[in-house]
């Protein structure tokens, strides 16, 4: 074991694993995947394959398989908005939200919003999805409806208080159709 490894606090097994991974043929692709997740603490590991075929000719236009990826999987960011679950993804979401709101209020030609929008009336409407049943939460300084005051990283946050009465089908249908519902709402607005 080298002096640098001892100074870094690495035991021989960890150092061996580190060297094995760094010397593997897929190391560059692995580091690219990790970089693209933006520091996500819980990346999603996808496995499988996809094919894009031209319907009229039957020609294979594109094929992708995770078999060629390091470890046989593609890593993508989890996208969680809660900092207690994934600080990196929550930070990205917060930044995206800020820029989206700013572009809508002041204009941003780079995002396709003209600066003349500043002269328009402004309404900041918040639309909330329907409830599908009570869930564990953190209502300020008060305890949750279950009687417990949950910590920020409690795993039960957002899960149903009573799974037997929670409308899972409604939640799935709402989320599946939310983009169309939003599209129709904006058209009629």
Which sequence spans correspond to the domains of the chain? 26-78, 81-119
- The model's confidence at residue 48, banded by pLDDT at 50, 70 and 90, is very high
How many whole angstroms separate alpha carbon 93 and alpha carbon 38? 12
Residue 5 above 80 pLDDT? no
User: If you average pLDDT over residues 130-153, what whole number do you get?
Assistant: 89
Residue 60 above 90 pLDDT? yes
Contact 52, 62 (CB under 8 A): yes
Residue 146 above 60 pLDDT? yes
- The model's confidence at residue 6, banded by pLDDT at 50, 70 and 90, is low
Helix (H) or strand (E) holding 183: helix 168-188
How many whole angstroms separate alpha carbon 39 and alpha carbon 18? 18
How many whole angstroms separate alpha carbon 58 and alpha carbon 109? 41
Residue 54 above 80 pLDDT? yes
Residue 2 above 80 pLDDT? no
Give the range among 57-66, 85-94, 115-124, 127-136 with minimum mean pLDDT: 115-124
Say which residue, 29 or 160, is predicted with more confidence: 160
Residue 124 above 80 pLDDT? no
Percent of the chain surpassing pLDDT 70: 96
For 144, 164, 166, the CA distances from 136, given in Å and listed in that order, are: 6, 14, 12
User: If you average pLDDT over residues 59-85, what whole number do you get?
Assistant: 90
């Amino acid at each position: 074991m080298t002096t640098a490894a001892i100074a870094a606090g690495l035991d021989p097994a960890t150092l061996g694993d580190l060297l094995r991974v760094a010397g593997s043929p897929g190391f560059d692709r692995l580091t690219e995947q990790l970089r693209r997740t933006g520091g996500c603490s819980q990346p999603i590991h996808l496995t499988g394959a996809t094919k894009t075929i031209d319907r009229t000719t039957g020609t294979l236009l594109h094929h992708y398989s995770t078999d060629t990826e390091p470890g046989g999987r593609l890593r993508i960011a989890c996208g969680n908005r809660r900092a207690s679950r994934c600080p990196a993804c929550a930070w990205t979401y917060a930044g995206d939200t800020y820029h989206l709101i700013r572009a809508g209020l002041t204009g941003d030609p780079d995002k396709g919003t003209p600066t003349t929008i500043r002269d328009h009336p402004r309404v900041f409407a918040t639309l909330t999805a329907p409830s599908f049943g009570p869930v564990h939460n953190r209502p300020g300084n008060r305890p949750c409806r279950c009687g417990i005051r949950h910590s920020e990283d409690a795993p039960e946050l957002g899960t149903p208080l009573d799974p037997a009465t929670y409308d899972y089908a409604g939640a799935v249908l709402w989320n599946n159709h939310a983009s169309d519902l939003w599209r129709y709402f904006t058209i009629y607005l």
